[in-house]
Each structure stands twice: as C-alpha cells, then as structure tokens.
Amino acid sequence: MMKRAIEKVAKAFWVIGQPLSRVPSSLGCPVSDLFIWRKSEEWQTFFELTNLPSLLEDQDDSEKGYADLFFFDSKGGRLGQLRIECDPVRRQTLAISDLLPDGGAHTFGTFAVFHSRTPKQVQAGGSFLAERGYVSYRYRGAPVRNYVHGNLDAIALASEGELEFLGTTGWLNREFRLQYEFSGEAAYELALVNPSARREQTSITLLSIPHGSSTYNISQTLSPGEITLVPIKISEAGRFRVVIRSRLVMARPVVFHFFNQKLDVFHG
C-alpha cells in the first residue's frame, strides 16, 4: 500500500495541471494541428480536406461551408491565409505546395486548417471541432504519396480572430522516447514543432543499441510555432534510439525516413 501511494505521489508531479493540450478560451473555437509542409524541387505537400461539420450534422442541416488555411514559415511567422469552400460530406485533395504564399527562402513550415462552424451538438457537449486529418508528401516525383495523420490539438482560432497555441508544458523536463529503432543504412529527418505559447529548450539525443551510449546530441530553443528539421544518418551496422528532452508534454516528432531513393513518413 505504501509503495502504491508513493508511486501515485510521484506520478502527480507529471500529470496534475499538465494536460496534453489546453482548452481554447471560448466555446466553439475551431482547432487544428500544426501540419508540416515541405516545398522544393524534390518535395510536394498535399492535404485531405473533408467538410467535417457536415459529417456530424443531420443531412437536412448540413450546408456548404469553408475552411480557412493559415500558413506559417519555419520560425512560426505567418505567411498568409486562404479560404477553401467545402461541399457537404465531400473530400478534396489540396495541393498545399501550390497554395502556399511566397515563402521566400523557406522550404518547410507549418499550416493549420480551421473549419467555418462547429455543429450545435459538439458545442452542447462542451467540446470543439478539431482538424487532425491526413497530410501526404510526394518525394522526387514518386507515383505514390506517403501519408501521416495529425498529431495533437496544437492551435485554435479564437472568436476575435486571434490564434491560440494549445500545446502544454510541464513543470519539469521530461523525455519523449520514440518507439522506433533507427537502423542503417538509411537517412532520417526529425521534424519537431513547438505547439506551446512559450519558447522551449529541446534536446535530441541518439543512443546506441544495446549500450545506450550517446553518439549524437543537438540542442535548440524553439519559439512558439517554430519547427526544426534535424537530419540523422545511420551507417549500415548502426542501431539507435532517439530521446527528445524538453518541457513539452508531447514532444512527438514526424519522422521522414529515406532509403533506396524512397520515402516513409510516420510519427515517432
């Protein structure tokens, strides 16, 4: 009994007042992930947009709506926004690379998708409509795109038009250990976004298997909404795990895996 009580007290330091994401300031605010876009001669980015409100309403109540897309550069600065009309219960593929405003020298950044309305039954339950759908990437003109879904509720569009970061931070530094073995011969890129409203110090460490010795470490401070893209190369004989240290409650990256001129993309 005493052991279990001590474990509960120890756990409390990591969970009390430290939810996975914050609740938006007002009811009915649309919520989105901060999806990652990439654009260059080698990269194209797409998004599967569905009229989510119409899926949750009676057919007679569903109507044509729209979604507002907000584009950000790699530092979290706003590049621009665009409104896309959505027919009821319809999915359309958006070529994000073609819709992006002039990003200057930026070849990657983030974007958010906010739907025009929240169904009454969603608001009545005290909940929010969140877009955490699928992004896909075409690498080097491949005939097949690689898909990855949204990660978490990262940003909200408040009623007065202000943007609110929903990512949370803890009181203590914590570790996010990717549930994946990095092995060679291959190249990887880890894309990590800061979805919180505070500047956060992050550290990405590569640990060898089975010894656990550190062979690579990079520390960066990320501003709100900023994204970092960290390259990692693994030799043919290498086997490693990655640990991300920060005060972010969910420091879960998107992993781009390159092998034999092909691409795979997934959450760590």
Alpha helices in the chain (DSSP H): 2-15, 52-55, 96-99, 120-124
DSSP sequence for 100-153? ----TT-SEEEEEEEES---HHHHHTT---EE--EEEEEETT-SS-EEEE--S-
**What percent of the chain has a predicted confidence (pLDDT) above 70?**
91
Q: What 8-state DSSP symbol labels residue 61?
A: T
pLDDT score, position 7: 46
pLDDT score, position 13: 45
The closest of 23, 11, 69, 38 to 229, measured between CA atoms, is 38
List the domain boundaries for the chain: 31-165, 169-267
Please indicate whether residue 187 or residue 171 has the higher confidence score (pLDDT). Answer: 187
Strands 169-177 and 239-248 come out as: antiparallel
Q: Give the helix, strand, coil percentages of the chain, each rounded to 5.
A: 10, 50, 40
Average pLDDT over residues 52-57: 87
pTM of the model: 0.91
110-143 pLDDT per residue, tens: 999 999 988 888 888 888 999 999 999 999 999 9
CA pair distance 42, 95, nearest whole angstrom: 15
- Among 3.30.70, 2.60.40, 2.30.30, 2.60.290, name the CATH number for the domain at 31-165: 2.60.290
pLDDT score, position 104: 62
CA pair distance 53, 228, nearest whole angstrom: 33
CA pair distance 108, 208, nearest whole angstrom: 29
Strands 35-38 and 108-115 come out as: antiparallel
- Among 2.60.290, 3.60.70, 2.40.128, 2.60.40, name the CATH number for the domain at 169-267: 2.60.290
Give Cα 116 to chain centroid, integer Å.
21
5-44 pLDDT per residue, tens: 444 444 544 455 567 788 998 888 999 999 999 999 999 9
Average pLDDT over residues 174-193: 93
158-175 as b/e, with b when 16 or more CB fall inside 10 Å?
A: eeeeebbbbbbbeeeebe
